[in-house]
A and B are shown apart, each in its own frame.
Chain A
Amino acid sequence: MNEVRDTRGRILFAGDFDGELIAGIEQPTHVVQTLFDIIGELATSSAKENVDAIVLNEQLLAKDSDTAFDALRRVDPFPIIVVSGETHKHKLADISVPQDTTSQRLLSAIVNARSQPIAQPELEEFDIDEALGFTDQTKTTPEGKNLGDVDLVRMLLHNPSKFRSTLLDLLKEQTGWKYCEFVDDETRVPHNAQFAQLRYGHQEHGILVAIGPTKEQAVRWGRWTSCWLELHLRHRQMKLLAYRDELSGAWNRRFLSACLRREINQAISARRPLTVMIFDIDDFKQYNDRFGHDAGDEIIREVVRLLQATIRKGDHVCRIGGDEFAVLFCDPEPPREAGSNHPTTIEFLATRFREQVSRAHFSKLGKDAQGTVSISGGLATFPWDGTEVDSLLRKADERLFESKRHGKNTITISKEDS
């Protein structure tokens, strides 16, 4: 019971809920009717009334529930978002609970969600090869023409996002099957098809479904397919290990260099600007010394979490040193600010992020430390501030030090802003 009570603020409910569910919650609650009201509550909450969780009745979420989650997280990325309903199809929610859940279960789920490591739902779908410029269509054979093992290797090296479809093409070509597909569960196997589990060791890769083979043939080709899918998975995992920072989940310095080089080339051909921000946490060493390395680690994780909630879909966060980070603002067409020009939008994002950090709550620093963590940063924009990776990063770095000289908790955008 103590564990359940160990939360830090209010729980907001939006929509219709059973009175007993709300009455059974011992921490402060507030019920409103719409998502707009929730945003209003988040915007007007004082620093001492942190919102722990937002529980949404599923009926409030329209077809485009992702937009609703985006809107809520823009205003406050910290609360756990819970959807109460029956469909469980909201990927961007932190938790889904059935409508008839109890207060105790709901609170336990919220506490559990808060103790989870940073969720990175986009990582599964993120095309690291595309971001790093590894994809090279010219080195792969056109689909379905005399494919062989060597084509699979080429796909792994030069176009991994097409690997699975090439594997299917090759299977069809080699076997003459009328139909073959990968599915996730047996309910999706057509009644007239054979299927084989795709498993390599303990790793599940789904199910191979085919119309044409005998059961024995399907199993034999399934084993062959599993080996390739395992190789594909491990290849991807190794790339992620090479380019990601384990503590924060952000990309690392190697990724920054490779991605920035590619983005500059794209910016040159599209004749568009490209901005990079470098920032660090002011006096980070003192948090490590005073509160321990766990507290320092928490600050780093939370800062990255905040940043990921602030930036746009195509932007990248990289941890490039102990407490030093870089943000690549790559999104060429900001989806939600179509009318604003690129640099202005980025200045706004950077300022918003700095403010969010300064208001953030870090549980390992204790209650009184809220508002003590700040960041200083510098922005540099291609082509005005540099046309190469090194010159652009150097300029952003210079502006970061400019911010430090001007008393920290500042983001320097250009000389005249300082």
Chain B
Amino acid sequence: MREKKNNIDTRSVVLTPKEGVEAACKIVQRLDLQADIEHCPILAMSELALLRQLRRNDAAWNSTPQRTLLVLINADKMEGLPYLLKALYQYLPDVEISTMKDGQLQSMYDNSDAVDTLEDPPIIHAESVDADELSMLLDGTELGTAE
């Protein structure tokens, strides 16, 4: 196989305004990212969707899927960005979103306070539920009352 030059095992999409493309190219080179640069949120969304398909394909062939990263560079005022982030959260939640701060990539969502579910998962002891209650919870009706 051809040796990959990038040192991060991640496929990225960089979203930046049109006038920032040149600067973004330099950042991509400096960080050695394997990236596609987009200056339109809707095109960034479609590239991320395609990367998801590549990941699924990699997974199907048992090769290690690459991580998918969206890097936002000066993109906070771009039209459509909130819709992009909302759609990513809903449809492509495994896309990591980072912004450039002080010359470094920083995750947009700081998850450091989140409980690590792999360690000590919380155990919830539920009270027992009888058949009537269960039926009511599921259908909003009580047993025997529904026709």
A→B interface (CB under 8 Å): 34-37, 39-44, 62, 64, 67-68, 70-72, 74-75, 336-340, 344-345, 348, 351-352, 355, 413-414, 416-417
Contacts and interface: CB of A to CB of B under 8 A. Distances in A.
A336 B2 contact: no
Given A36-B83, A36-B84, A41-B91, A355 B36 contact: no
Interface of chain A, helix or strand or loop or mixed?
helix
A37 B36 contact: no
B91 A44 contact: yes
Contact of A39 (B24, B40, B45): B45
Interface of B: 1-2, 14, 21, 24-25, 28, 34-38, 40-43, 45-47, 49-50, 52-54, 57, 79-80, 83-84, 86-88, 90-92
Contact of B87 (A36, A75, A337, A355): A36
Given A40-B87, A75-B50, A336 B43 contact: yes
Nearest to B37: A339
Contacts of B25: 338-339
Contacts, number: 98
B42 A355 contact: no
16 contacts: A34-B86, A36-B80, A39-B45, A40-B91, A43-B49, A43-B52, A43-B91, A44-B91, A71-B42, A74-B46, A75-B49, A339-B24, A339-B25, A339-B37, A351-B54, A413-B2
A34 B21 contact: no
Contact of A40 (B43, B57, B92): B92
Closest 4 CB pairs of A and B: A40-B91, A43-B49, A36-B87, A339-B37
Given A37-B87, A71-B42, A336-B43, 6 more contacts: A40-B91, A74-B43, A75-B46, A338-B25, A339-B25, A339-B37
Contacts of A348: 36
A215 to B, nearest CB: 51
A373 to B, nearest CB: 16
B49 A39 contact: yes
A39 B87 contact: yes
B53 to A, nearest CB: 7
A416 B46 contact: no
Contacts of A337: 36-38
B53 A355 contact: yes
A58 to B, nearest CB: 16
Contacts of A34: 83, 86-87
Contacts of A68: 42
Given A36-B87, A40-B90, A339 B43 contact: no
A137 B38 CA distance: 36
A109 to B, nearest CB: 25
Contacts of B49: 39-40, 42-43, 75
Contact of B21 (A42, A339, A345): A339
Contacts of B1: 416-417
In this complex, the member of A41, A348, A351, A352 whose beta carbon has the largest number of chain B beta carbons within 10 angstroms is: A348
A37 B85 CA distance: 11
A348 B54 CA distance: 10
